[in-house]
A and B are shown apart, each in its own frame.
Chain A
Amino acid sequence: MLKVSGIDVFYGDLQVLWDVSFEIKQGEILVLVGANGAGKSTTLKTISGLLKPARGSIEFQGIYLDQLKADQVISHGVVHVPEARRLFREMTVEENLIMGSLAPEAKKKRADTLEWVYELFPRMKERRKQVAGTMSGGEQQMCAIGRGLMALPKVLMFDEPSLGLSPILVQEVFEIAKRINKEGVTVLLVEQNVRQTLTFCDRAYVLENGRIVLHGTGKELLNDVHVREAYLGI
């Protein structure tokens, strides 16, 4: 469904991704795990167009996303929920959600989608007039996910949604990811939280120093010697 082929990405002169290739299949939950600085966020930023690959391509349903301007990617249904939420802090929750539905298609269904998001996150409905920056971390994460859903995503990419959340909330966020996936949205999840994500994903890729070093189903990787040593500490 979404195919990343051999991308090299630079920050100025510094190369961060080396020949990274992977594929997301329709309807699955795919996880990209790796340590801090391995290039996970960079990969997502490149898919959503904030960074441009020096080499390689990113194809989604016949469209080359790397050829598009960053602000056009979302209208094709590839939606990025950025690291650290990045809400519009001085806007209300509802305004933040509305900002997710600017593309013509999403705008037409705005009222219905808003109802759906409020059903998924009753908390957001209670807080819809509250200024987003004043909410707790967990609530902000839900708002950020809701904002992504407002765009009617085909692929929803989460960048470290567990960052800065308590273990219970982390569990909740992963439950939400699963629920969204059941609603028919393909999920790409980027995480440092290796053990938990590998247990519920369909497939996973391991990123080390900007290169893909391993891939397989969640179960396979949980039993992999290298993964166990490097990430699970067993």
Chain B
Amino acid sequence: MAIFFQTIVAGLLKGGLYALIGIGMTLIMGVMGIINLAHGQMMMLAMYITFILNQVGLDPYLSLFVAMPSLFIIGVLIQKYFLNPLIKVETILPQNMVLMTVGIGMAMTEIVRFVFKSDYKYVKTSYSSSTFFLGGISFNVPLVIAFFIAVLFTIIMFWFLNRTDLGRSIRATAQDKDAATLMGVNTGRITVITMGLGAALVAAAGTLLAPVYYIFPDIGSPFTTKAFIITILGGLGSTVGAIFGGVTLGMAESLGATYLGMQYEDIVGLVIFIMVLLFLPGGFKRLTKV
């Protein structure tokens, strides 16, 4: 039984971070109507930023203040100069924006590989492997801290989306672009801000994961896949769904790793993904309606 609870705790902690990755992805999905297939690669960039700052002695949690704004700017530039110009050309299908994100993701990976080589880097902290015990269950300190910061960011995002004019404008643009324009929303600006926010959120996840993961150029693409799975689980464009999706994926991976073996960790997530597509198309959004 202790192992079961241990597994649940590990899954929940990981799920908190996955939720953060998923919220960014689902916001972009909602507003732009595209899947951002460079999402994990953006996270990878944030991990490298954290790594560089750690080399000069900055604590990873403090580097959030650098990584998030940096990725916000990168997201803004990508949307403004790479994706929005595609919308203006009528002969280009919107799906081609997705292809563009694939290309951007590849370019990011290869540029990082060129600069840092392919070898594993890691962020050294005094607490990377420290744990504490609560009722016989061990808690990995950096993951617990990461979880709480992730929850904090999620709460802030909810407040922002539901209580501010800019946040409401983002949701309005996702729900009806023309009606939002009629209400005075500059939807072009909203797409740029949304991509920036999505990038900043996934950057937070990357920085928070840095102390517990190896960092290498190809770490991006598995996380892009995870982000995609989370978004499908939750229902495209749904923020609440992204949290459900994130926690579900975290739990599934954790349970799979414990009861089926480490090598099956990713398979469980993919099986659930296919099940959801088959039996609950539309994801959790269908159940929660938000």
Contact = CB atoms under 8 A, between A and B. Distances in A.
A217 B273 CA distance: 63
SS of B interface (majority) = helix
A164 B290 CA distance: 26
Contacts of B162: 95
Interface stretch (B1-9, B101-109, B177-185, B194-202): B177-185
A147 interface: yes
A222 interface: no
B186 A71 contact: yes
Contact of A102 (B169, B179, B289): B169
Given A99-B168, A102-B165, A107-B165, A88 B182 contact: no
Contacts of A100: 183
B191 to A, nearest CB: 13
A147 B168 contact: no
Contact of B181 (A70, A79, A95): A70
Contacts of A86: 176, 178-179, 182
B186 A90 contact: no
B207 interface: no
Contacts of B183: 74, 99-100, 102, 147, 151
Interface string A111-148: 00000000000000000000100000000000000010
Contacts of A90: 171, 175, 290
Interface in A54-84: 69-75, 79-80, 82
Interface string B146-175: 000000000000000010010011011001
B34 to A, nearest CB: 19
Contacts of B175: 88-91
A60 to B, nearest CB: 15
Interface residues of B, number: 20
A71 B185 contact: yes
Q: What band does the interface of chain A fall in when counting residues whose beta carbon is under 8 Å from B?
A: 20 to 34
Contact of B176 (A49, A50, A88): A88
Given A71-B187, A86-B176, A86-B182, 5 more contacts: A50-B178, A71-B184, A71-B186, A99-B168, A107-B165
28 contacts: A49-B181, A71-B187, A73-B184, A74-B183, A74-B184, A75-B184, A79-B182, A80-B182, A82-B178, A86-B176, A86-B178, A86-B179, A87-B179, A88-B172, A88-B176, A88-B179, A95-B162, A95-B168, A98-B168, A99-B169, A99-B172, A99-B185, A102-B165, A102-B183, A102-B184, A102-B185, A147-B183, A151-B183
Interface of A: 48-50, 69-75, 79-80, 82, 86-91, 95, 98-100, 102-103, 107, 131, 147, 151
What are the 10 tightest A-B residue pairs by CB atom distance, in nearest-first order?
A: A86-B179, A74-B184, A88-B175, A71-B186, A102-B184, A70-B181, A88-B172, A99-B183, A80-B182, A71-B184
